[in-house]
Structure 1
C-alpha cells in the first residue's frame, strides 16, 4: 500500500514538510546553566529557549507580562517590615499608664516623682509607610489578577484555534504553511503571518494578530 504524500503546494515536494505542532515543540528547549547568585554561590538555572520559527507558529498570543509582580512582592515586604519595626520599637500597642499623683508621707513630705523615661524617637511615620506600601501591593496584585482574568477570557476559544492549528504543515524549503484535510480550507501556501491570522481568528482573538505579528526568521 503506497503512502499518501503530503507535498507542499508551493514546491510540490514532501522531503522538508513537517507538521506545525512538531515544529513548534521542537523549537522550545529547556536549557540549564550554572550561574552565581547574589551571595556568590553557584546554582543551576533552567530557562526556556525559543526559536523565532516556534514563536511565529504559536497558536495563542503571548500572555501579558507579570514582571510588575516583583514590585508587589517588594511593597508587601516593606509593609510587613515597617509594621513589625514600628510595633516593636514604637510601642504602638502599649497603653502608657497615667502618671500617679504623689501622696504625702506621714511626716508631711511629698516625694518627688522620678523623671519619666525617654520614650525614644517618634516612629509614627513607619505606620504611614506600612499603609502606603500595603496599598501599593494591593494595587499591583489587583492589576495582575485583572490581566490574568482578561487573558483567560480572551483565549477561551483557544481549543478551536489549536484544532485548526494541528492540521497545519510547514515547508522548511519554502517557509510557508498549508492546511491538510480541513473542510473549508484550501491547500494554498500561507505566509507565517497569514497562517497566524487564520488560526487566531478561529480562536476568537484574530485582532491580536495585527499587534503581535509573526516574524519570519528566514526573511527577517
Structure 2
C-alpha cells in the first residue's frame, strides 16, 4: 500500500490511509475459471469478485438483477421452437389437400395420430406473450435505475475526495468545500455520497457493511 501525505483525523497517522477510489478498485478482481456446463462441455467463465470493503465504498448502488430475463429467454425459445414444430409437422402455411384414406380388408385404415397442432399454437402464443412481458419489465427496470442514478457524476465527484483509513475503518474528506475532516463510518460515508447523487434514500435500504465488524 502506498503512503500518502493525508493523515487520518482519527489516529493522526498516514501510513494506512488510502484514497477511496484506489481502495474501491483494489477490492474488485476479475477471476477466470474453467467450468463444465450441463452438457459436460468445459467453458471459460469470468466473474468479478468484490470484497466487503469495496462494496461498502461503492459510489452508486448496484443495478437491479435481471434474473427474470432468463425466464423471458426460455419463453422466447419455447415460442420459436413450438412455432417451427407446428410449421414443419402441421404444414400450417401450405394448402395441401386432405390425405386420401387407405382401405384395408375391413374398411378405412385409421391414420396415425399426429401432433396436437392447436395445442402447439397456444403454447407458442402464450410463450411469446411471456417473452414480450419480461422484455418490457426488464427495459422499464433499467430505465428506472438510469433515471434514479442520473446524478451519479455528482456523487462520484465527492466520492473521489474521500480517504479511507485501514487502521480506524473510517473515511474522511479532503479538499471539499463545505465538508470537514470528521471521520465517518462506512455507512455515513455512503449516505453523504449517495445523497450528493440524488439517491440517498437507497442508503437506508442498502446499508454499508463494515467488513471488520461483519
The normalised TM-score by structure 2 is 0.89
Separation in 2 of the partners of 1:39 and 1:82?
22
Q: Deviations over 1:179-213 (max 9, x none)?
A: 00000000000000000000000000000000000
Q: Assess, with a 3 A threshold, how the Cα gap between structure 1 residues 123 and 50 changes in structure 2: closer, same or farther.
A: same
Separation in 1 of the partners of 2:168 and 2:211?
12
Separation in 1 of the partners of 2:84 and 2:137?
27
Q: 1:116, CA displacement in angstroms?
A: 9.8
Give the RMSD, CA atoms, in angstroms: 2.1
Separation in 1 of the partners of 2:33 and 2:89?
44
Separation in 2 of the partners of 1:178 and 1:161?
15
Preserved CA contact (<8 Å) 1:158 1:203: yes
- 2:196 is matched with which residue? 202
Aligned length: 204
Q: Deviations over 1:38-89 (max 9, x none)?
A: 2223222211110000000000011011111111110000000000101111
Separation in 1 of the partners of 2:112 and 2:38?
39
The normalised TM-score by structure 1 is 0.87
- 1:67 is matched with which residue? 67
Q: How does 1:37-116 map to 2 (within 5 A)?
A: 37-97=37-97
- 1:211 is matched with which residue? 205
Question: Mind listing any 5+ residue stretches in structure 1 that lack a counterpart?
Answer: 100-114
Q: How does 1:29-44 map to 2 (within 5 A)?
A: 29-44=29-44
Q: Following superposition, which runs of at least 4 residues in structure 1 exceed 6 angstroms of deviation? A: none
- 1:140 is matched with which residue? 134
The structure having more radius of gyration, on CA atoms, is: 1
Q: Deviations over 1:90-109 (max 9, x none)?
A: 2222235489xxxxxxxxxx
Paired residue for 2:155, among 152, 161, 164?
A: 161
SS at match of 2:48: strand
Separation in 2 of the partners of 1:60 and 1:127?
45
